[in-house]
């Protein structure tokens, strides 16, 4: 395996089994899972409805055909996603991952606008491929400056910068919109293809624009014919609690949305839902060999049905509030906590030097080890690697939310 394939923890763990919202490692230790395979095991482990749907497909003997044949599961799932998206005349194309989904959306946008110019957000992450890295704005994740796109990065999730500190949401949004207008007036040559943005930045440590910023951006973009791509790989399917897709918190219907991760509850699936005219436009033949294969579609249909039938968006709002309210109440006791942020079951703790307030990645590493020792799995992110980011399965119970909150607070006490 390559050296850059990083593993969590000083003594990495192997997860060998799971049930509900807990996993067990090879040594037999059990953990409450607050990271869900990077937001992917969205409804937990060993879910009967998903397992049985996959087993039914396996029993047919058909695990793969490719898109040169009709795939009933694709059509059924596409109809659900198109309806939920709110995008007019929506069509769906399935891929294997979020990276590939973002590549597809960028292709559609640059084809439609006949331009290689793209706007993206500072601190963003959109995947590890050549095109996706070019719209990623985080030095830790960029291997080179080469790019198939001409990219300009916008403000919107960087309120820690000196020029924005102390601004109200309205004033910050106004400053960001002024900057967008200035970029369009000075840095581009007209005919910008699209803005691609995460409603909540995943690798960025769950930093986010204030609600309403993307509506203000879209007003400017629409006047210039610039398309809007919402990267919902981490924010989709009700995770924020307050909306089914993250961009809906801004009152925006984008031209395209990309998705992946949780939809398959561990099975590889991604895709793009876009306006029909954009999806139909490319003139060359296209297909997906593995994208939307029959087994992944069985899992994804079962997962989405489970999310909707159990109203897991409401559960995310309810259990997320227990954790976020508890963390915010505890935070003043800990000078090492610079910020607590999030929506629903998508939340982060930013760790800082208690004397200077500077980002403290070493403290974050200690906190990772401490939560692991206490029986909870968490993730790490942030521009400087100093934010603990967590996104438990949407099936988290209220008792598990309180249990996890207690572990998180105890871990802060232990490293303070």
Q: Note whether 327 and 297 are same-domain residues.
A: no
- The domain boundary residue, chosen from 309, 335, 357: 309
- Rounded-to-integer distance, Cα 41 and Cα 33, Å: 10
Q: Do 246 and 225 belong to one domain?
A: yes
- Under 8 Å between Cβ of 23 and 40: no
Residue 118, domain extent: 53-309
Residue 57 shares a structural domain with residue 172: yes
Distance CA 297, CA 92 (A): 13
- 59 assigned to some structural domain: yes
Is the whole model's pTM more than 0.85, yes or no?
yes
Average pLDDT, the chain: 97
- Tell me which of 260, 293, 309 is where a domain ends: 309
Block residue for tokens 């409805």: 49
Q: In this structure, are strands 15-19 and 22-25 parallel, antiparallel, or unpaired?
A: antiparallel
CA distance 381 to 339: 13
In this structure, the answer to whether residues 236 and 344 fall within a common structural domain is: no
Residues 6+ apart with CB under 8 A from 22: 30, 31, 32, 33, 45
Q: How many domains does the chain have?
A: 2
Q: How far, in Å, are 291, 339, 353, 360 from residue 166 at the CA level?
A: 46, 14, 20, 22
Q: What is the pLDDT of residue 6?
A: 86
Q: Which pLDDT score is estimated for 75?
A: 98
* Cβ-based neighbour number of residue 6 at 10 Å: 7
Residue with tokens 């050296």: 3
Cα separation, 254 vs 231, in Å, equals 10
CATH code, domain carrying 350 = 3.90.1150.10
Same domain, 129 and 274: yes
Q: Give per-residue pLDDT as tens, 204-260.
A: 999 999 999 999 999 999 999 999 999 999 999 999 999 999 999 999 999 999 999
Residues of the chain with pLDDT under 70: none
21 within some domain: yes
Answer yes or no: do 245 and 212 share one domain.
yes
Give domain status of residue 1, yes or no: no
Rounded Cα distance, 409 and 249, in Å: 29
d(CA 24, CA 265) in angstroms, rounded, equals: 18
How far is the C-alpha of 84 from the C-alpha of 237, rounded, in Å?
9
Contact by Cβ (8 Å): 372, 31: yes
* 44 is a domain residue: no
Number of H helices, E strands in the chain: 12, 17
Among residues 283, 309, 335, the one where a domain terminates is 309
Q: Do 270 and 323 fall into the same domain?
A: no
């Amino acid at each position: 395996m390559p050296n850059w394939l990083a593993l969590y923890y000083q003594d990495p763990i192997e997860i060998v089994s799971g049930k509900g919202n807990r996993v067990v490692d090879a040594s037999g230790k059990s953990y409450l899972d607050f990271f869900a395979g990077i937001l992917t095991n969205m409804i937990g482990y060993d879910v009967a409805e998903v397992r049985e749907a996959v087993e039914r497909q396996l029993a047919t003997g058909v695990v793969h055909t490719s898109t040169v044949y009709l795939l009933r599961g694709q059509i059924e799932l596409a109809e659900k996603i198109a309806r939920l998206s709110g995008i007019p005349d929506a069509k769906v194309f399935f891929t294997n991952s979020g990276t590939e989904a973002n590549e597809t959306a960028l292709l559609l946008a640059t084809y439609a606008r006949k331009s290689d110019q793209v706007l993206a957000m500072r601190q963003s992450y959109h995947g590890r491929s050549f095109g996706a890295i070019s719209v990623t704005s985080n030095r830790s994740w960029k291997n080179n400056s080469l790019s198939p796109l001409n990219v300009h990065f916008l403000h919107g999730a960087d309120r820690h910068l000196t020029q924005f500190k102390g601004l109200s949401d309205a004033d910050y949004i106004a400053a960001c919109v002024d900057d967008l207008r200035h970029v369009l007036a000075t840095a581009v040559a007209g005919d910008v293809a699209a803005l691609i943005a995460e409603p909540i930045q995943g690798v960025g440590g769950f930093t986010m624009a204030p609600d309403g910023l993307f509506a203000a951006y879209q007003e400017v973009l629409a006047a210039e014919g610039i398309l809007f791509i919402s990267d919902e790989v981490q924010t989709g399917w009700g995770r924020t609690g307050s909306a089914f897709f993250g961009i809906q918190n801004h009152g925006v219907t984008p031209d395209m949305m990309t998705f992946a991760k949780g939809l398959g509850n561990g099975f590889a699936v991604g895709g793009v839902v876009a306006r029909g005219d954009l999806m139909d436009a490319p003139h060359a033949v296209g297909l997906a060999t593995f994208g939307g294969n029959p087994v992944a579609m069985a899992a994804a249909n079962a997962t989405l049905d489970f999310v909707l039938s159990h109203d897991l968006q409401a559960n995310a709002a309810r259990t997320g509030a227990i954790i976020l309210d508890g963390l915010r109440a505890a935070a003043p006791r800990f000078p090492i906590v610079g910020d607590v942020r999030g929506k629903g079951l998508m939340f982060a703790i930013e760790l800082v030097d208690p004397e200077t307030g500077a980002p403290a990645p070493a403290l974050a590493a200690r906190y990772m080890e401490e939560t692991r020792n206490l029986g909870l799995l968490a993730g790490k992110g942030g521009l400087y690697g100093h934010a603990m980011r967590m996104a438990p399965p949407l099936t988290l119970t209220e008792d598990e939310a309180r249990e996890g909150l207690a572990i998180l607070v105890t871990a802060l006490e232990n490293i303070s």
